[in-house]
Every structure is written in C-alpha cells, then in structure tokens.
Amino acid sequence: VWGSEIALTFPSALGFATAWKDQPLWMVLPSPERSIFIGFNLLFFLPGEAGAKGNKGNYGFPGLKGQKGAKGDTCDNGTKGDKGDRGDRGEPGGGRGAPGRKGSRGAKGAPGDIPKPPRSAFSAGLSKPFPPPNVPIRFDRVWYNERRDYDPATGKFNCTVPGAYVFSYHVTVRGRPARLSLVASSRRVAKARDTLYGQDIDQASFLTILKLRVGDQVWLEVGKDWNGLYAGAEDDSVFTGFLLYPDGFEVLL
Ligand SMILES: *[C@@H]1O[C@H](CO)[C@@H](O)[C@H](O)[C@H]1NC(C)=O
Ligand SMILES: *[C@@H]1O[C@H](CO)[C@@H](O)[C@H](O)[C@H]1NC(C)=O
C-alpha cells in the first residue's frame, strides 16, 4: 500500500516541482485539484482489504535433539551367560604356624636284657675212704658243678670268676685220726684235726670265705697217718665251694 502511494505521489510531485520551482506543491494546484490531490493522497493512508492467502513456505531446518528418556524396566527372562575363565592363582597364605602341643606319653617299653651275673658253685663227695695224704683229695662223686670250675679228676677248684668264695667241708672221721688242711694257691689257709680211734664215728666241719683271683686253685689235703676220712653207705664226706659275689658286679648287686 505504502509502496504504491509513493510511486504515484512522486511522479506528480516531481512534475509540479519542475513546473513551479518556487511554489509549494499544494499551492500550485488550483483549489479543486488541490482537494482531489489531498484526498487522493489521504486514500493511501486508509487500511485496505485483506489480501489473499500466501503460498506455503519452504521446508524448515531440523529441530534440536530431544531430552534423554527414563530408564527402562529390568528384563526377567534373559538367558544365562557362559561360564567365565578361571582366575589367576592366589598369593601364598601366611607364614609357618606355631608348633603343636606336645603329644601324650607313650606306653612303657619292654624290659631290656640284664647281663646275668656269673655263677660258680660245686659240691662233691668221697666215694672211697682214706684218701692218700699230702695230695689233693679227689672228691669224685659230683653232686653239683656249675661252670665246671671244680675238677673231680684232680680234686682242685680252679677260679675263673674273680670274687669272694665260700669254701667248706663236712667229713666223717672213722677208724683213725684226721688232719685236714684247706689249701689255696699252694698255701695252707686252714687246718683242723680230729683225734679218733677204734670204730667210733665223728664229724668234722669247717667253713671260710676266701678272696680269689682268676687262676687261683683251692683243694683239701690230709696228713700222713691222719687220713681218717671215711665214706660209705651211711656216711658222706663232702667238699663244697661257691661264689659269694663276683668282683666288678657291685652295681648289679
Ligand atoms: C522375554 O520376554 C519378552 C516380554 O515378555 C518377550 O518379548 C521376549 O521374547 C522374551 N525373550 C525370551 C528369550 O524368552
Ligand atoms: C684256671 O682257669 C683259668 C681261667 O679260665 C685258665 O686260664 C687256667 O688255665 C685254668 N687252670 C687250670 C689248671 O685249669
């Protein structure tokens, strides 16, 4: 509207301005024309009717990105995944623990072997009366002879275990007197006599303790014309000896 008014006003204005330079435009025009001119120009200031609807505009630019949506529901029926790989081997544990408690006492063991102390003992009797004098009397009826330290063939006891020994004799004297000697290592250590005549019967006895070393020998002798030792069915004459205690075994005894 405004463009068309200007387009009409300017040519007419220029035309009159060119004709009458020194006069204002509205003054140049005669009075009726002047009114028309003003009215005509006033027409352009009145609002016109609404025009027809314009054409559809061009396609717009894409809109901004929308806001992030809310979290969805959890799924209940998912399938189980595959088994994972085996983990790395763990570090070793702590250091060595404290020692355990002491165990209970064990059962008592079997007794050990105890060395047996040596034994030596003998006892022997006469089988014939009146032994020969000044030689060892051979008590040839052996009743006991541990270790066989007594020899009935010689009538001598031979020491094989050093220690203290008991020697004794119990003899029957009959028909003639008797003189008995206990000989140890060729030394007469004990002597005894019994004077008796006729058919009388007597008993003589003796006992002593001797300390012997290995190899020491002990026996009995009768003197010449004093050999009244008797032996018969009712009478015995006995020579006895035994180890009382050995040397070196004091700990055991
Ligand atoms: C899990 O459930 C949904 C809805 O209930 C269903 O659409 C889908 O097929 C199911 N999937 C399986 C593996 O069952
Ligand atoms: C007496 O015994 C000892 C020791 O066994 C031995 O060395 C010695 O020869 C024996 N003596 C006799 C006369 O048998």
Same domain, 238 and 146: yes
Find the 217 Cα to ligand 2 centroid distance in Å: 9
Q: In terms of domains, do 135 and 242 share one?
A: yes
Residue 100 lies in a domain: no
Q: What is the pLDDT of residues 7-65, one digit of tens each?
A: 666 666 666 555 556 655 556 566 776 677 666 666 666 666 777 888 888 888 888 88
Confidence of residue 252 (pLDDT cuts 50, 70, 90): very low
Structure tokens at 2: 């405004």
**Local structure of residue 46 (DSSP, 8 states):** S
DSSP codes of every residue in 103-132: PPPPPPPPP-PPPPPP--EEEEE-SSSSPP
Supply 198's token pair: 């006729």
Q: What values do phi and psi take at 2, rounded to 5?
A: -70, -35
| CA pair distance 164, 247, nearest whole angstrom | 8
For residue range 124-137, what is the model confidence (pLDDT) as tens digits? 999 999 999 999 99
Q: Is 98 a member of any domain? A: no
Structure confidence at residue 253 as a pLDDT band (50, 70, 90): very low
Q: How many domains does the chain have?
A: 2
Of 152, 173, 156, 148, the closest CA to residue 236 belongs to 173
Q: Would you say the CB of residue 214 lies under 6 angstroms from ligand 2?
A: yes
Give the pTM: 0.54
Please report which confidence band the pLDDT of residue 205 belongs to, taking 50, 70 and 90 as the band edges. very high
In this structure, is residue 79 part of a structural domain? no
84: tokens are 């994972």
Same domain, 129 and 24: no
Mutate to test the pocket of ligand 2, among 158, 159, 186 (most ligand atoms within 8 A of CB): 158
Shared domain for 39 and 131, answered yes or no, is no
How many degrees, rounded to 5, is the angle at CA 157 between CA 152 and CA 162?
150
Task: Write out the two tokens for 75.
Answer: 């799924």
Give the pLDDT score at 26. Answer: 56
59 within some domain: no
- Together in a domain, 235 and 136: yes
Question: Hey, which bits of 88-237 come out as E strands?
Answer: 121-125, 141-146, 150-151, 156-158, 163-184, 187-194, 198-212, 217-230
- Asked, for residue 142, whether it belongs to a domain, the answer is yes
147 lines ligand 2 (CB under 6 A): no
227 in the same domain as 129:
yes
**Nearest Cα to Cα of residue 167 among 179, 144, 183, 154:** 183
The answer to whether residue 228 sits within a structural domain is yes
Q: Which ligand has the nearest atom to the CA of 218?
A: 2
Q: Are residues 139 and 35 in the same domain?
A: no
Task: Find out whether 127 and 211 touch, Cβ atoms under 8 Å.
Answer: no
* Nearest C-alpha neighbor of 239 from the set 166, 133, 162: 166
Which range of residues forms the domain containing residue 187? Answer: 121-246
Assess if residue 54 is contained within a domain. Answer: no
Q: Are 90 and 200 in contact (CB under 8 A)?
A: no
* Within a domain: 173: yes
Place of tokens 């009935």: 152
Q: Is the CB of 24 under 6 A from ligand 2?
A: no
Least confident of 102-106, 150-154, 216-220: 102-106
The CATH number linked to 212 is 2.60.120.40
* Residue closest to 247 by CA, chosen among 160, 150, 145, 146: 160
134 and 231 together in one domain:
yes
Would you say residue 182 has pLDDT above 90? yes
Q: Are residues 39 and 127 in the same domain?
A: no
Are 126 and 39 found together in one domain?
A: no
Cα-Cα-Cα-Cα torsion 229, 234, 239, 245, nearest 10 degrees, comes to -150
Q: Cβ(215) to ligand 2 under 6 A?
A: yes
Q: Measured from the CB, is residue 160 less than 6 Å from ligand 2?
A: yes
Cβ–Cβ under 8 Å, residues 179 and 193? yes
